[in-house]
């Protein structure tokens, strides 16, 4: 039998990244008596189950295009989990060596999934300089990465540090894919975009694109509330993994990829509120999402309750799957 050629059969998981669907949370809206639409962009339907699959593919392919991965170099990256998982999947598909330096205290599923792809995982606690920086700055992740560069990257040859905090491929891929997907799938009928802020790539890229199509679209950034930030005095506080404050910190502590000019409003969400919302949508609409998604939906809900937003369409980017949190208290 001759081989039948069809473009419907993919040859790599890299071809499966993006084109995630939009879903209106109809039952959740009814249950909360909302008069605005809340539309979730289901990023957990990417092949490695998070929005970070987009930047993983983009950053590796950008490094390829610049000739940085021709001689057996090892890719290295720091992460709280999802970027590491996305990179592990893409690196496996492309045949690259990868080493992930992981923030301590994240859910155990993250480390297990990364290792399942054959990637080496090193906790931050194994790098004394990084531990010292975390203690000194109470976890300022921008400064921690600066210390990491000196302690690890500059001391080792044949490594390529992708650095999602200031890698332009991060916001660019959201400008090229996430934003256009939202615009096309809503046929341009979108009033508000809601996204949590970590590295800033998602909100800056997707928000920037949507504003280029319609300057009246409002872009809302979500950050954790003060009570949800772990400190040296209270290290056991449950945080919203991967989401960081940026509104009231010095510019040196804000990632390069956070474009504040794109963001019209900032909403604070406490971890307990994010938990409650993630649990609610699992039961109301059958979507199992993580803490950052719960935070985005909670913020969208507050916007939907405002009289001026009656009848409007709010798109909330839901970054990852709730399956990454089964070892935590999220669904207890």
Where do the H-state alpha helices sit in 96-200? 108-116, 128-137, 141-151, 169-173, 179-185
Closest CA to 242 of 201, 287, 181: 201
Among the options 41, 52, 57, 211, which is catalytic?
52
Please say whether the beta carbons of 293 and 330 come within 8 A. Answer: no
User: What backbone phi and psi angles, to 5 degrees, belong to 75?
Assistant: -80, 135
Closest CA to 287 of 110, 108, 41, 106: 41
Question: What ranges make up the beta strands (E) of 171-300?
Answer: 192-196, 218-224, 265-269
User: What backbone phi and psi angles, to 5 degrees, belong to 151?
Assistant: -80, -30
9 membership: H or E segment, kind and range = none
Helix (H, G, I), strand (E, B) or coil at 322: helix
Say how far apart CA 111 and CA 327 lie, in whole Å.
Answer: 12
Q: Which residues contact 253 (CB under 8 A, 6 or more apart)?
A: 140, 142, 143, 246
Among the options 80, 204, 228, 292, which is catalytic?
292
CB neighbours (10 Å) of residue 20? Answer: 23
CB neighbours (10 Å) of residue 53? Answer: 30
- Which single residue is written with the structure tokens 């921690």? 144
3 in catalytic set: no
DSSP 159: E
- Give 155's strand partners: none
Say how far apart CA 160 and CA 158 lie, in whole Å.
Answer: 7
11 in catalytic set: no
Sign of CA pseudo-dihedral 29, 324, 15, 259:
positive
Q: Are strands 192-196 and 313-318 parallel, antiparallel or unpaired?
A: parallel
- The residues assigned a catalytic role are 52, 292
């Amino acid at each position: 039998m001759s081989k039948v050629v069809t473009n419907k059969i993919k040859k790599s998981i890299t071809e499966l990244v993006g084109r995630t669907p939009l879903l209106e949370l109809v039952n959740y809206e009814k249950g909360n008596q909302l008069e605005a639409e809340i539309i979730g962009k289901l990023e957990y339907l990417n092949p490695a189950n998070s929005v970070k699959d987009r930047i993983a593919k983009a950053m590796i392919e950008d490094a390829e295009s610049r000739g940085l991965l021709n001689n057996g170099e090892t890719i290295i990256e720091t992460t709280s989990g999802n970027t590491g998982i996305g990179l592990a999947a893409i690196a496996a598909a492309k045949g690259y060596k990868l080493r992930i330096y992981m923030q301590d205290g994240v859910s155990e599923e993250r480390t297990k999934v990364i290792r399942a792809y054959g990637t080496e995982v090193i906790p931050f606690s194994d790098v004394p300089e990084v531990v010292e920086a975390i203690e000194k700055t109470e976890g300022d992740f921008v400064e921690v990465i600066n210390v990491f560069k000196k302690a690890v990257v500059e001391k080792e040859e044949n490594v390529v540090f992708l650095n999602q905090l200031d890698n332009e491929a991060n916001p660019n891929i959201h400008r090229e894919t996430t934003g256009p997907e939202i615009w096309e799938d809503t046929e341009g009928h979108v009033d508000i975009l809601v996204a949590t802020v970590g590295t800033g790539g998602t909100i800056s890229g997707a928000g920037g694109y949507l504003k280029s199509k319609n300057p009246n679209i409002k872009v809302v950034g979500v950050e954790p509330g003060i009570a949800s930030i772990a400190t040296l005095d209270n290290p056991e506080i449950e945080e919203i993994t991967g989401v960081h404050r940026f509104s009231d910190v010095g510019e040196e502590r804000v990632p390069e990829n956070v474009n504040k000019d794109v963001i019209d409003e900032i909403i604070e969400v406490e971890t307990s509120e994010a938990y409650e919302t993630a649990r609610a949508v699992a039961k109301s609409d059958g979507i199992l999402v993580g803490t950052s998604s719960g935070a985005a939906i909670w913020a969208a809900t507050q916007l939907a309750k405002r009289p001026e937003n009656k009848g409007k369409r709010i798109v909330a980017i839901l970054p990852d799957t709730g399956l990454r949190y089964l070892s935590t208290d999220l669904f207890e």
